[in-house]
Structure 1
């Protein structure tokens, strides 16, 4: 059974994240070839645009929190729900901020305050000791009646989780205007060709959206879950 109008609700109130996720999924449709014809009307709408509340993220892992958000949205809307839980993991900080990344400063979603606090905490450490990575867990939850069914009409699996990582290191001064969150102080190991040719190390915030999506933690997780989304909604 196909979701009405191919709509999938993304469990976020961050419109910047929705734009990034839409770009990743559309690129994945092209890479999968037939996916574009299978899902020509795929439409992503955010939970924020629908006026849905944020559920309490009571999980202790990225996977648990992504699933909490997707399940809540699927239950409230009756539509397939896609959620991700992402965060920055800093080795020298014992894997913090981790699942608390978005509210590290005490206020959820205050990117500038989160970055200021993290920079204050690492200000006296050399860059050589600031190995870090972004981690994303993407969860897809299907409501009753959507997805694969067996010969007896019984619904198959309804919950799916995939993960992605982007390795790199932190710097002490923000650089770049793209992206959001900790992007201005994170330098990915996997640099674009233009940076390598120029001998530069670009932060995630200095990458174009296309460059970032091609290597990002979120890009890897969503690309892994895209074939399941196509199969479920076809």
Structure 2
């Protein structure tokens, strides 16, 4: 079964393929993941106010355009002392989308006076699966199938440090030390494999994998 991943970032596909393969085992051979970018699909406008809403919005858009099951995710950083911020605005916190350096500078300035013990934060990711109704098996009572939508949350807890460290990763990785990284490395000092093993995206797609399995088994 072909499943479209709602992304134009081809770098996401290997990570998601690896997760799905590990979770589905032999059943993974029945899944072919392709990106929305490879199909020349447009990016939808993300009008949701939560990670889950935006993930479902993106997956819904791709499913509607292709008639195929679709996967999507939306993620960002939540800093405890800032409440839900930067949250869904993480990528454009400084006002310019994707300006990682400006986003980090602004965030560090906003919490400069916060003591180290109070600089807790977490990366959050909602992964979503949307299956068009024609791909869903008819119900046992004979009633018409309905489109299926599933979303699962993954989180990576950690601490915001005061200065950048590391050259890997992207976004806020240089100032975030994951709690699960016992060596005290930032996400930007870890290898891609080390980071992916504990990342919020990895956890979200692991939690979503049973829903993917149910689709290919119908």
TM-score with structure 2 length normalisation? Answer: 0.89
Paired residues, number? 216
Q: 2:99 matched to which residue of 1?
A: 110
* Maintained 8 Å contact 2:161/2:177: yes
* Maintained 8 Å contact 1:183/1:205: yes
What is the rounded CA distance, in whole Å, between the counterparts of 2:13 and 2:167 in structure 1? 18
What is the rounded CA distance, in whole Å, between the counterparts of 2:131 and 2:97 in structure 1? 27
**Residues 42-191 of structure 1 correspond to what in structure 2 (within 5 A)?**
42-151=31-140, 152=142, 154-155=144-145, 158-191=148-181
Give the C-alpha shift of residue 111 in structure 1. Answer: 2.6
TM-score with structure 1 length normalisation? Answer: 0.83
What is the rounded CA distance, in whole Å, between the counterparts of 1:17 and 1:182 in structure 2? 17
Note the alpha carbon deviations across 1:13-58, whole angstroms, 9 max, x for none.
Answer: 2333333323322332xxxxxx332231422222223222221211
Give the C-alpha shift of residue 134 in structure 1. Answer: 0.7
Q: 2:19 matched to which residue of 1?
A: 24
Give the C-alpha shift of residue 178 in structure 1. Answer: 2.8
**Which runs of 5 or more structure 2 residues have no equivalent in the other structure?**
none
Give the C-alpha shift of residue 121 in structure 1. Answer: 2.4
Give the match's secondary structure for 2:25.
helix
1:226 aligns with 2:196: no
What is the rounded CA distance, in whole Å, between the counterparts of 2:41 and 2:115 in structure 1? 43
Bigger shift: 79-88 or 141-150?
A: 141-150
What is the rounded CA distance, in whole Å, between the counterparts of 1:114 and 1:95 in structure 2? 16
Bigger shift: 118-127 or 101-110?
A: 118-127
What is the rounded CA distance, in whole Å, between the counterparts of 2:104 and 2:20 in structure 1? 28
Give the C-alpha shift of residue 110 in structure 1. Answer: 3.0
What is the rounded CA distance, in whole Å, between the counterparts of 1:99 and 1:162 in structure 2? 16
Identify which of structures 1 and 2 has the higher relative contact order when contacts are C-alpha pairs closer than 8 Å and 6+ apart: 1
CA RMSD, Structure 1 to Structure 2 (Å): 2.0
Give the match's secondary structure for 2:102.
helix
Give the match's secondary structure for 1:40.
helix
* Maintained 8 Å contact 2:187/2:195: yes
* Maintained 8 Å contact 2:132/2:147: no
What is the rounded CA distance, in whole Å, between the counterparts of 1:176 and 1:117 in structure 2? 19
Per the alignment, do residues 27 and 110 of structure 1 end up closer, same or farther by CA in structure 2, a change over 3 Å counting? farther
* Maintained 8 Å contact 1:184/1:205: yes
Bigger shift: 69-78 or 14-23?
A: 14-23
1:210 aligns with 2:193: yes
